[in-house]
Each structure stands twice: as structure tokens, then as C-alpha cells.
Amino acid sequence: MAVSVAKQGYHLGHHDEHDANHDEVIYRETRDMRLTGFVLFLGTDVVLFSAFIFAYVYLRTSIAPVWPPMVDGHQLPRLDTAFAAVNSVVLFGSGVTMHYALEAWKHALKRRFNLFMALTILLGAGFLGGQAYEYAHARIGGWSGNTFGASFFTLTGMHGLHVFIGVWFLIALWIQTSRGVYDDHRFFGLTAGTLYWHFVDVIWVVLFFLFYLW
């Protein structure tokens, strides 16, 4: 009887080990496919932003003799570059904290991960608050007021929507980590969240140059 129970325990343990190895193989295979799919998704976003950016460049270089353009005989004022620069530092800082959050998770440093994740979400929300403030105080007309205003609000608004979605994406990932969905070996969701957040950072670099420096 004892030998039989021991053999049964051995087979159960061997079976569990086999299932764990099988799950690991499946995870690695699906992780690669999900990563490819997520990169392709980001690629479609690049195409979307590129279409609007090229349209803006065309309008600026081909239609208006001066930029910002003239409206009712007066040239529109330039945007507040100093304020936008500070707000940009806030967003870029969130990219740094997101990087360190992922690294902390990889090394099973949960408290450090929670700190950097919280900072990333707060900085992302702070950027959105700064953008809302700028929208309320910009004296360039609205979406239908002129070419410059329409281009500015369309492109930065589309980017702001991506940041807004990204903040909620990170909140969802943070909740998942607290519920044990990920461990320090399986964390594709956090990798995807980090890639997405770096993507919105890169897009903002382009928009900042186009609207504030050029």
C-alpha cells in the first residue's frame, strides 16, 4: 500500500512538472505571437499619425505664406513653448519611471515596482491636466477656426486620447499585478504597456517639434 501511494505521488508530481513545462512552452510561443501582433498594432498607429502629420506639413508649407497664419488681418500668436516644454518633461519622466517599473518587476522588487508604477500613472495624468490647461488658454481658435488651430487640436488631441487610454491601460495592469496575474517570468502585459507608453513619448517628440519649435 505504501509503495502504491508513493508511486501514485511520484506520478502526480511528474504529471504536474510535465504540465508546468508544457505551460511554459505554450506561454513562450504565444508571447512571441502576441508581441508581433502588438508591434503591428503600434505600426498602424504610426501610419495614422503619419497621415495627419504629413497633411499638417503640407498645409504649412504650401498654403499659408506665414505661420501661424493670418486670421482677420492679424497673425495668430505662437503657442506657449515654455509651458509645453515643462509638460513634455512630465511626460518624458513618466517614460523613465515606466522603464524602471518594468525592470523592478523583472527582478521581483514589488515595492519598487509599485512606486514607479504609481509615479508613471500620476505623471501621465499630470500631462493630461497640463494639456487641458493649455487648451483652455490657447488663443488660436478652435477646430474650425483656422488651419493652424484645426491641425493643433486634431493632432495633439489624438495624442492626448492615446495618453488617456494608456493611463487606464497601466491602471488595469497594476490591478492585475496585485491579483497575481503576472510573475517575474511571465509579464507580457507589462512589456506591452511599456512599449505603448514609450510610443506615446516618441509621438510627442515629433508633435512638440512641429508645433512649438518649427
Residues 6+ apart with CB under 8 A from 89: none
DSSP 8-class letter at 186: -
Please give the mean pLDDT across all residues of the chain: 87
User: At CB < 8 A and 24+ separation, what contacts does 84-90 make?
Assistant: 84/134, 84/208, 84/211, 84/212, 85/208, 85/212, 86/130, 87/127, 87/130, 87/131, 87/134, 88/204, 88/208, 90/123, 90/126, 90/127, 90/130
What's the predicted TM-score (pTM) here? 0.86
Q: Averaged over 189-204, what is the pLDDT?
A: 97
Q: Are strands 74-75 and 70-71 parallel, antiparallel or unpaired?
A: antiparallel
CA 203 – CA 208 distance, rounded (Å)? 9
Residue boundaries of the structural domains of the chain: 27-213
Band (pLDDT 50/70/90 cuts) for residue 26 is low
DSSP 8-class letter at 78: P
- pLDDT, residue 17, reads 54
Who has greater pLDDT, 208 or 186?
208
pLDDT at 43 over 70: yes
- pLDDT, residue 8, reads 47
- pLDDT, residue 76, reads 85
Who has greater pLDDT, 72 or 16?
72
Which fold would CATH assign to domain 27-213?
A: Four Helix Bundle (Hemerythrin (Met), subunit A) (1.20.120)
Q: Averaged over 163-190, what is the pLDDT?
A: 94
pLDDT at 9 over 50: no
- pLDDT, residue 67, reads 85
Band (pLDDT 50/70/90 cuts) for residue 12 is very low
pLDDT at 191 over 70: yes
Top mean pLDDT of 17-21, 25-29, 148-152, 199-203 is at: 199-203
Quote the percentage of the chain above a pLDDT of 70.
85
